[in-house]
Amino acid sequence: MLTGNKYLGLGVDIWSCGVILYALICGYLPFEDENTTILYKKIMNGEYVIPNFVSNEAKDLIKRILTTDPSKRITISEIKQHKFYKILKVNEDL
């Protein structure tokens, strides 16, 4: 949306969920900067760091969700098949 490309609702919503997932796991947002121009560049370039305490499964899902190219971003059905999602689903059922 920052680049002015056509709005693809589902892809944008998946990205937004990735930002929320990152924040829930890490305790802070993936993209932060006091300078708005630098912040937008970080978002558009997908520049963020996942802390070492995050599991490999969670890292993989976050990376696949926060892919800047919407055509390469993970889909809802792929998310539901992802190992981290399945771990969360099993824990939810307990």
Q: State residue 10's pLDDT score.
A: 77
pLDDT category of residue 91 using cuts at 50, 70 and 90? confident
Write out pLDDT tens, residues 69-82: 888 999 999 999 99
Distance, CA of 52 to CA of 54 (rounded, Å): 5
Whether residue 2 is predicted with pLDDT greater than 50 in this model: the reply is no
pTM over 0.75: yes
Distance, CA of 10 to CA of 81 (rounded, Å): 18
Q: State residue 25's pLDDT score.
A: 97
DSSP symbol at 7: P
Four-residue CA torsion sign, 32, 36, 38, 44: positive
